[in-house]
């Protein structure tokens, strides 16, 4: 780079992006590469020497109404970064997740003909729905860093440069993970069998799916009274909401349910509960990836508002809904979606996983997928990024 220090602009919008960004900064440093980092970062990145021109929270906007309300502010932030990098260009711009903002920023960089290579770290779910977005990505992004191998395969079909760099959780969570140790960590009886029930972390999910899991638990309890149920509550609001639902359950069932709360600010209780369970029943979402990497036998379920479901069916272009099945390219775990998500069917699937042979077959498949995400065919994100300017 003409004997000068490399300059990289990065933008993140939430804690998970801040974690990825901080790890990336450390990776550059560990490889002896001198880089100046600037843009929008969180406390973890700033602690690594990142210069943040705006607070990360400015991008933490969810929902259509909220985004519209803040649209002028978001445009001003985008334009401010473009103006700054027009006057003093960075060599590479890396948008970490936050695709709605970062892809628009990358598009502005290209439209202004700035001499900046653009990277999107964490692919938007373009492979799952609104696949037409891939053409916009191709026009504005020089490299996509993918967390999953199937994402790289998708981009290759459209001649979009992509590198599979692996998911950080895959290396963070161990391949050897005894349930005995996980029970001890939560102060549970190691000889007791537990079923984890995770109806989701949002109010609407608990409202919709809480009764489903509790009704399924009631069916299981009548047949297998020796099992205990674990339900995580990520905050006080969810705890109160679940406690209200438990008031409608039989006392004998409530006695077998343990509502588990966070012991720190990291909100890891969902992961800890799944880890300590012999069987996991959880709402479809990112938690299915965690359950997969914990190697716990599981069944997943989900229900949407009927109109939302009809619209989603028209937009979604994938055969499976859960990440384990998408990664495997086949049905490894059972998915109970919409009308299939009944207490009876959920209880029946949980009961199937009580069979040691059935659950062990699934566990071996989950370990195989974990190894796949750790496989040597993943690339080093630092080297993949540097390939744009060498």
Domains, the chain, ordered by start = 6-167+378-386 (3.40.50.2000), 179-374 (3.40.50.2000)
0.85 exceeded by pTM: no
Q: Is the dihedral of CA 211, 202, 198, 334 positive or negative?
A: positive
Predicted local distance difference test score (pLDDT) of residue 3: 57
How far is C-alpha 324 from the geometric centre of its chain's CA atoms? 12
Three-class SS state of 98: coil
Predicted local distance difference test score (pLDDT) of residue 62: 41
Predicted local distance difference test score (pLDDT) of residue 327: 85
Cα–Cα distance between 275 and 30 in angstroms, integer?
32
Cα–Cα distance between 288 and 312 in angstroms, integer?
20
Cα–Cα distance between 13 and 2 in angstroms, integer?
32
Let me know if 115 is exposed, middle or buried by CB neighbors in 10 A (0-12, 13-18, 19+). exposed
Residue keyed to tokens 């079923």: 195
For the chain, 390 residues long, give each residue's pLDDT as a single digit of tens: 445 689 999 999 887 788 899 999 999 999 999 999 999 999 999 999 999 999 988 886 543 444 455 678 888 999 999 999 999 999 999 999 888 899 999 999 999 999 999 999 999 888 766 677 899 999 999 999 999 888 999 999 999 999 999 888 888 899 999 999 999 999 999 999 999 999 987 788 899 999 999 999 999 999 999 999 999 998 888 899 999 999 999 999 999 999 998 776 556 888 999 999 999 999 987 789 999 999 999 999 988 777 767 776 666 666 788 889 988 889 999 999 888 999 999 999 999 999 999 999 999 999 999 988 887 667 899 999 999 998
Predicted local distance difference test score (pLDDT) of residue 2: 47
Q: Is the dihedral of CA 303, 307, 308, 314 positive or negative?
A: positive
How is residue 378 written in tokens?
């993943």
């Amino acid at each position: 780079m003409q004997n000068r220090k490399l300059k990289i602009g990065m933008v993140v919008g939430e804690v998970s992006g801040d974690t990825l960004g901080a790890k990336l900064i450390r990776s550059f440093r560990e490889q002896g590469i001198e880089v100046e980092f600037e843009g929008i970062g969180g406390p973890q990145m700033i602690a690594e020497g990142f210069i943040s021109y705006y607070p990360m929270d400015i991008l933490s906007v969810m929902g259509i109404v909220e985004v519209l309300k803040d649209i002028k502010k978001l445009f001003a932030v985008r334009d401010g970064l473009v103006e700054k990098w027009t006057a003093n260009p960075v060599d590479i711009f890396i948008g970490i997740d936050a695709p709605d903002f970062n892809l628009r920023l990358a598009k502005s960089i290209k439209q202004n003909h700035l001499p900046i290579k653009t990277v999107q770290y964490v692919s938007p779910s373009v492979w799952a729905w609104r696949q037409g977005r891939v053409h916009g990505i191709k026009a504005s992004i020089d490299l996509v860093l993918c967390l999953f191998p199937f994402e790289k395969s998708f981009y290759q079909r459209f001649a979009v440069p992509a590198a599979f760099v692996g998911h950080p959780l895959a290396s963070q969570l161990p391949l050897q993970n005894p349930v005995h140790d996980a029970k001890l960590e939560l102060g549970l009886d190691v000889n007791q069998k537990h079923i984890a029930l995770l109806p989701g972390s949002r109010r609407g999910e608990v409202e919709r799916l809480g009764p489903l899991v509790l009704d399924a638990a009631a069916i299981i309890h009548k047949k297998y009274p020796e099992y205990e149920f674990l339900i995580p509550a990520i905050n006080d609001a969810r705890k109160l909401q679940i406690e209200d639902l438990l008031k409608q359950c039989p006392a004998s069932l409530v006695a077998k349910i343990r509502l588990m709360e966070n012991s720190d600010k990291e909100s890891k209780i969902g992961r800890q509960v799944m880890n300590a369970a012999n069987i996991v029943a959880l709402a479809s979402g990112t938690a299915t990836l965690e359950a997969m990497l914990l190697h716990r036998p599981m069944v997943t379920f989900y229900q949407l508002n009927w109109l939302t479901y009809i619209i989603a069916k028209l937009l979604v272009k994938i055969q499976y809904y859960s990440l384990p099945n998408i990664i495997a390219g086949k049905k490894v775990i059972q998915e109970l979606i919409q009308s299939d998500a009944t207490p009876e069917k959920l209880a029946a699937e949980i009961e199937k996983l009580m069979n040691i042979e059935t659950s062990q077959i699934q566990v071996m498949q989950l370990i195989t997928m974990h190894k796949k995400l750790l496989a040597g065919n993943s690339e080093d994100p630092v080297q993949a990024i540097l390939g744009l300017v060498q």
